[in-house]
Amino acid sequence: MKKILETLKETEQWIEKSVLIGCSDEHVPQFALDLGENVEETVRREVAEEVGLEVESLWYSASQHWPFPSSCLMIACHALVRAQQAEISMNSLELEEARWFGLEEIVEGLKREPRSSKQDDGSFLPWFPPKQAIAHRLICEWVKRQTSQPA
């Protein structure tokens, strides 16, 4: 039991310093407000539907116009999920991939060009959106928060 608790604590500490990134092959905004929903309710519902996680808290970051296929407004939010429920249950109808990334992986990823790159072992390095994308802004804000907090 002690080993299980130690493992859980290590996992929680890692998740606290990690970010969940998901992508779809359509490269279009995926979240849609249902009739009568506010932004906070939409984020909570969509995160639960797409990765099976419960949002504990969230805050607004920014908005960006998305002109195709029809004009819409993207709203970017940061969200915290409970570390005890950090196992991803990805909806493959909604997302192509979703996983947790540590700070080092994100910092290295932001240095690369915005495309996937295959490594020698056959695995792929994560793809990060271009600088003009609102998703890129969210990732950079997360990095800034992680690197400005005292250890």
What pLDDT digit, counting tens, does each position of 53-94 carry? 999 999 999 999 877 767 788 889 999 998 777 889 988 888
Q: Which residue in this structure is represented by tokens 């493992």? A: 7
Which pTM value belongs to this model? 0.76
Q: Domain 1-148: what homologous superfamily? A: Nucleoside Triphosphate Pyrophosphohydrolase (3.90.79.10)
Q: Which residue in this structure is represented by tokens 């999920």? A: 81
Q: How do the domains of the chain map onto residue ranges? A: 1-148
Q: How many Cα neighbours within 13 Å face the side chain of 58?
A: 22
Q: How many Cα neighbours within 13 Å face the side chain of 83?
A: 12
Residues in the chain: 151
Q: 33 falls in which pLDDT band (50, 70, 90)?
A: confident
- Can you give the pLDDT at residue 14? 44
Q: Measure CA of the first residue to CA of the last residue in the chain; give whole Å.
A: 29
| pLDDT tens column, 90-146 | 888 888 888 888 898 888 888 877 665 666 666 666 677 888 888 889 999 999 999
Cβ neighbours for 77, distance < 8 A, ≥ 6 positions apart: 39, 43, 58, 59, 60, 61
Strand partners for 102: 18
